[in-house]
Amino acid sequence: MHKIASDFAHTAWPDIAEAAGRGALAVLAIGACEQHGAHLPLTTDTDLALGVSRRIAAALEAVVLPPIAYGDAWNNEAFPGTLSLSPDTLRAVIIDIGRGVRRNGFAGLVIINGHFGNREPIGLAARTLVAEGLPVVHLDYPHLEKLAGDICDSEPAGPGFYHADEVETAMMLALRPDVVDMSRAAPEYPAFPPTFGIEPLQLRDFNATGVFGDPRPATAAKGEALIEGIVAESLRLIGLWQARHAI
Ligand SMILES: [Zn+2]
C-alpha cells in the first residue's frame, strides 16, 4: 500500500519524491538537549516542537523532517545533562538541512522552534536559505503568552519566560505523559539578577532546581488547549506566508 509521506524519517524515497513532486512543504522541529527540572526530561523542547510540528504538517499535508534534537542551550550548561550546540554550529546545520530540502524539491521550509536560545541562529540560517531561493518561515509558538494567560493558573517566573513550568509541563502531559514524573514537580520562582538580559548569565547561578515557575497545576487538558491554540495561530501565519509566495 502507498504510504502517505508525512513522517520523513520513516518514509521510503519514492514517497518523498511523490510528496516533493506535488509541492509539499517540509516542517523542521528544532529543540534542545537541556535540563528541565527534576520532573521533565532533557528532550522536552524537542518533544514539544516535534509534537506541534506533526499537527501542523498534518493540517498542511506537509512532511515532518527528523528534528534537530540539540540547540543553543548555553545558559543551562551549568546543569548536568545539558548538551549544547554553538550558535554557529546550529546555524550551519539548519542551512545544510535547508539546502537538502531545496535539492529534494520541496516548496518551502517551515521551522518550528521549541527553545528560546535557538532564535538567533534560526533567523540567520533562514536569511541565507531565503537568499538562495528557498522560502522559509520560522515560528516560536505564536500566541503563547496570551494562551498561557488564558489557560494556565500559575504566574510565569518572568514575562514570556516558560521553562519547566506549568506551560511546558502541561504540553508534555498532553504529548508525552510517559516521560513526565509529576511526583517530582516543585515550584521555584527565582529572583532574576538585575542584569538579566543585558549580560550572559548561567541560570544555575540564581536557580537551584531548573524550574522557572510552578509546574504543579499542569494538566494534559491544559496542554492540549495550549497546543491547539499554538497550532491554530501557526497555521494562520503560515497561510499568510504561503499566500505571499504562492506555495
Ligand atoms: Zn523548554
| pLDDT tops 90 at residue 17 | yes
Q: What is the CATH number of the domain that holds 153?
A: 3.40.50.10310
Least confident window among 35-39, 157-161, 166-170: 157-161
In a domain, 152, yes or no: yes
Ligand 1 mean position, distance from CA 43 (Å):
8
Ligand 1 mean position, distance from CA 34 (Å):
8
Q: Quote the pLDDT of residue 20.
A: 95
Mean pLDDT along residues 77-82:
97
Average pLDDT, the chain: 96
In a domain, 233, yes or no: yes
What does the alpha-carbon distance between residue 1 and residue 86 come to, in Å, rounded to a whole number?
43
Ligand 1 mean position, distance from CA 183 (Å):
19
Give the pLDDT confidence of 43-55 residue by residue, as tens digits.
999 999 999 999 9
| pLDDT tops 50 at residue 186 | yes
Name the residue with cell 547561578: 205
**Residue-number span of the structural domain to which 32 is assigned:** 8-245
In a domain, 1, yes or no: no
In a domain, 2, yes or no: no
Please report which confidence band the pLDDT of residue 159 belongs to, taking 50, 70 and 90 as the band edges: confident
Q: Quote the pLDDT of residue 4.
A: 54
Ligand 1 mean position, distance from CA 109 (Å):
23
SS (H, E, C) the chain: CCCCCCEHHHCCHHHHHHHHHCCCCEEEEECCECCECCCECCCHHHHHHHHHHHHHHHHHCCEECCCECCECCHHHCCCCCCEECCHHHHHHHHHHHHHHHHHCCCCCEEEEECCHHHHHHHHHHHHHHHHCCCCEEEECCCCHHHHHHHHCCCCCCECCECECCHHHHHHHHHHCHHHCCHHHCCCECCCCCCCECCECCCHHHCCCCCCEECCCCCCHHHHHHHHHHHHHHHHHHHHHHHHHHCC
Q: Quote the pLDDT of residue 9.
A: 82
Q: Quote the pLDDT of residue 1.
A: 39
Q: Quote the pLDDT of residue 2.
A: 46
What percent of the chain shows pLDDT beyond 70?
98
Mean pLDDT along residues 135-156:
97
Ligand 1 mean position, distance from CA 32 (Å):
8
Ligand 1 mean position, distance from CA 17 (Å):
34
User: Is the entire prediction scored with pTM above 0.85?
Assistant: yes
Between residues 3 and 190, the one the model is more confident about: 190
Please report which confidence band the pLDDT of residue 8 belongs to, taking 50, 70 and 90 as the band edges: confident
In a domain, 163, yes or no: yes
Ligand 1 mean position, distance from CA 130 (Å):
28
Q: Quote the pLDDT of residue 128.
A: 98
Mean pLDDT along residues 122-150:
98
26 has which bridge partners?
A: 63, 109
| pLDDT tops 90 at residue 3 | no
In a domain, 188, yes or no: yes
Mean pLDDT along residues 101-126:
98
What does the alpha-carbon distance between residue 237 and residue 240 come to, in Å, rounded to a whole number?
5
In a domain, 3, yes or no: no
Structural domains of the chain, count: 1
End-to-end alpha carbon distance in the chain: 28
Ion ligand 1: residues, CB < 5 A: 44-45, 168
| pLDDT tops 70 at residue 191 | yes
In a domain, 210, yes or no: yes
What does the alpha-carbon distance between residue 132 and residue 79 come to, in Å, rounded to a whole number?
38
